[in-house]
């Protein structure tokens, strides 16, 4: 409803006047704004009104269609645009990848008059997401230049395919690494159940001077949970505290989950929960589920009454609590 209101009020404003110089920039800005709101009918109306369009105008419209799931309209506009540049081709290519139309993406990729590293990365990403790691690796090997995203993408593909040896081989060959590189590898090992190696990777990353971010901490706490090591959990929590991430609700909930899943740390979980300055649905769900699994049904129901969002209802925890309460 809110998006409809924004589109409606925009479309009922007086038509733009064309003062001459700079009018294309004004229209391009409005088309981009409407496209981001998902108001493609209104964006197309402005596009069709323009007496002059530049390549930016066309690219904004094609981007808007492709990002709003209208890949057919994006292709139609692409086909009638005579002034395509490499960005135009890459926008449509990325749209096909986003829609998981990998065959169409590859046909377009092969017909491109020129490609840049973004084009290559988009195609490799498409194969990674379609779990065709062999073709992704082939493109990675023959691409003329690589950037950090190229390496991270192919490593992600191997991790998702549970081929950690291949992922590690490429990781060790990287000329440089960022937090994404490390997080992908740590997550890959944790997913495979190799929590020891995941923790070693995190420790190596931190020792190299990289500051963990929210995503990195979340994966690290999952790793510590798998190790069932309270000392490591406390050490990692100290790192989160020193880097001002303990107060982050996502990281905080990861800490809470690690405490709650450890049978001997339930009291620490309860204490940590009460000290959380910000809680979300997952925080409440984690605590209520922990109480339930520890046989503290009355306390779980009491927490249910305190939850201002009652968002955990959708994941079935409330039904399980009530069933347990009614049928002891």
Q: What is the pLDDT of residues 34-53, one digit of tens each?
A: 999 999 999 999 999 998 99
Q: What are phi and psi of 243, to 5 degrees?
A: -100, 10
Q: Compare 326 and 212 and report the one with higher pLDDT.
A: 212
| Strand ranges in the chain using DSSP code E only, listed in sequence order | none
Residue 126 lies in a domain: no
Residue located via tokens 């997080």: 183
Residue 162 lies in a domain: no
**pLDDT, position 112:** 98
User: Hey, is 60 helix, strand or coil?
Assistant: helix
Residue 115 lies in a domain: no
Average pLDDT over residues 159-169: 97
Identify the weakest region by mean pLDDT among 105-114, 156-165, 242-251: 242-251
- CB neighbours of residue 67 within 10 Å: 18
CATH number at residue 311: 1.25.40
Residue 146 lies in a domain: no
Residue 45 lies in a domain: no
- Most confident region among 4-13, 244-253, 308-317 by mean pLDDT: 244-253
- CB neighbours of residue 66 within 10 Å: 25
What's CA 48's distance to the chain center, in Å?
34
Identify the weakest region by mean pLDDT among 3-17, 19-33, 81-95: 3-17
Residue located via tokens 């006047």: 17
Q: Which two tokens stand for residue 22?
A: 């700079």
Residue 152 lies in a domain: no
Q: Is the pTM of this model over 0.75?
A: yes
Q: Which two tokens stand for residue 185?
A: 């590898």
Average pLDDT over residues 258-281: 86
Measure the CA–CA gap between 50 and 183, rounded to whole angstroms.
46
Contact 105, 115 (CB under 8 A): no
- CB neighbours of residue 271 within 10 Å: 11
Residue 85 lies in a domain: no
Q: How confident is the model at residue 323 (pLDDT cuts 50, 70, 90)?
A: low
Q: 50-86, pLDDT tens digit by residue?
A: 989 999 999 999 999 999 999 999 999 999 999 999 9
Residue 299 lies in a domain: yes
Residues spanned by the domain of 311: 187-323
Measure the CA–CA gap between 204 and 79, rounded to whole angstroms.
50
User: Hey, is 87 helix, strand or coil?
Assistant: helix
Question: Could you give the number of structural domains in the chain?
Answer: 1
Question: Is 94's pLDDT higher than 90?
Answer: yes
240-246-248 Cα angle (round to 5): 125
């Amino acid at each position: 409803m809110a998006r409809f209101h924004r589109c409606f009020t925009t479309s009922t404003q007086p038509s733009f006047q064309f003062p001459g110089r700079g009018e294309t920039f004004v229209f391009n800005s409005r088309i981009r704004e409407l496209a981001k709101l998902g108001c493609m009918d209104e964006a197309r109306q402005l596009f069709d009104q323009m007496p002059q369009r530049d390549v930016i105008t066309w690219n904004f419209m094609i981007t808007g269609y492709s990002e709003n799931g209208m890949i057919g309209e994006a292709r139609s506009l692409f086909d009638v645009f005579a002034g395509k540049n490499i960005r135009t081709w890459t926008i449509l290519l990325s749209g096909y990848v986003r829609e998981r139309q990998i065959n169409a993406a590859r046909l377009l990729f092969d017909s491109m008059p020129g490609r840049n590293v973004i084009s290559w990365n988009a195609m490799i990403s498409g194969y990674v997401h379609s779990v065709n790691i062999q073709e992704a690796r082939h493109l990675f090997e023959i691409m003329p230049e690589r950037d950090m995203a190229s390496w991270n993408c192919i490593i992600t593909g191997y991790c998702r395919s549970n081929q950690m040896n291949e992922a590690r081989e490429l990781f060790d060959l990287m000329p440089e690494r960022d937090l994404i590189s490390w997080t992908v590898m740590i997550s890959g090992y944790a997913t495979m159940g190799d929590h020891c190696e995941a923790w070693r990777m995190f420790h190596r990353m931190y020792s190299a001077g990289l500051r963990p971010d929210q995503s990195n901490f979340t994966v690290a706490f999952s790793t510590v949970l798998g190790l069932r090591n309270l000392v490591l959990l406390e050490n990692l929590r100290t790192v989160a505290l020193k880097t001002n991430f303990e107060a982050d609700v996502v990281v905080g909930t990861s800490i809470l989950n690690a405490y709650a899943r450890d049978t001997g740390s339930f009291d620490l979980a309860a204490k940590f929960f009460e000290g959380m300055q910000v809680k979300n649905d997952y925080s409440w769900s984690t605590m209520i589920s922990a109480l339930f699994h520890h046989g503290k049904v009355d306390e779980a129901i009491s927490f249910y009454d305190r939850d201002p969002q009652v968002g955990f209802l959708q994941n079935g925890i409330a039904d399980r609590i009530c069933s347990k309460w009614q049928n002891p």
